[in-house]
Structure formats: structure tokens, C-alpha cells
Amino acid sequence: MKITETFIKGLLIIEPLIFEDERGYFFESYNKIRYFQNGFDTEFIQDNESKSKKDVVRGLHYQLAPFAQSKLVRVVQGRVFDVAVDLRKGSPTYGKWYGLELNDTDKKQLFIPQGFAHGFSILSETAIFSYKCDNIYNCESERSINCNDPYLKIDWKIDPSQQIISGKDKQAPFFENAEINFTF
């Protein structure tokens, strides 16, 4: 596997080794020992999966500490534009975002540590999105930031007039009014 750190400390792109032949392909989407050997000490305890149709934007979601979640995200089927926003006060990249396409062809993954908001947009007709979490879901600590916040200026790779966003996500506060309790 190849690991590349983004310009945001702790936010990592993981490229697995894919073995392909005329029958198809095989790759390890997760191997605790191999990840540990590469510096990951995160203990994942929950797996989640969602399916969405084209032009859906989900996010930006996070959970307040002590229920914050690190996530290891990947696409099982389709293409998404995946985004993580640094919410760690005192970080040199506080309020900055990083985005990349995740797809079912190159099988890249993104490791998002605790202290980040996360979201994604669907670029293919449908997409199945999978993520491992190191903490359970806790509805009382769930928070969101409006995905079309003018301060963040995230380009979701979908025309704003075509975006399909849940009512809950549309009502999320902007970054400047979001409840955040993370420190760098």
C-alpha cells in the first residue's frame, strides 16, 4: 500500500495494492496488521455503508468529542468527490478543506482523523460508499456544517442547481456558527 499525506496534517490518502487478472481483481480493503505496520493505531469498531444517486451531496457531518470519529472511507461502486474540513482549533489548516475523487477503479481510500467534518457528492449514476469508524454513532453529539457554506467555498463538482441535499443538511449552520470542540 502507498500512503500519501495531504497538505492537512493527519489526513491521508491510501492506495491499496490491487491484483488483477482475466478473472477480475483482489485487494485488501483493510488489514489491521498491515495498517499498524504503516503507523495506524486507530481501532475501528463500526462499519457503515450508504448508497446514493447522482447529484446527491451528503455532509458536512461530524460528532463532538468525546464521541468524535476517525473514518477510513472508500467507494465500493461508482465515483464520489470526498471532502474533509479541518475543525481542530489551533491547526495551521483550521477551516481549510481537502477533496479528492474516490472511485471503484483505483480503490483509493481517505483516512480522516477525529476533528474533521466530512462530506461527499455523487458523480456517477449511483455510488456505494463504505466507511470504518473508530467510535460509535451518537445522535446527541452529531453536528453538521452547511455543505454550501460561502466561507468554505467547496466545489462539489456538481452544479448547485442540480444538487440533491437533505432538509437537515440544508438547515445546518455555516462554519462560523458551528459548534466545534476540537483542538490541534
Active site residue: 35, 62, 98, 131, which one? 131
User: Cell numbers at residue 35, please?
Assistant: 495498517
Nearest to 138 by CA among 36, 72, 66, 53: 66
DSSP 60: E
Active site residue: 35, 61, 98, 118, which one? 61
Task: Find all residues with CB under 8 Å of 9, minimum gap 6, and list them.
Answer: 91, 92, 93
Instruction: Calculate the alpha carbon distances from 4 to 1, 110, 118, 134 in Å.
Output: 10, 10, 19, 21
Q: How many whole angstroms separate alpha carbon 129 and alpha carbon 78?
A: 8
Residue 131 annotated in active site? yes
Q: What residues are annotated to the active site? A: 61, 131
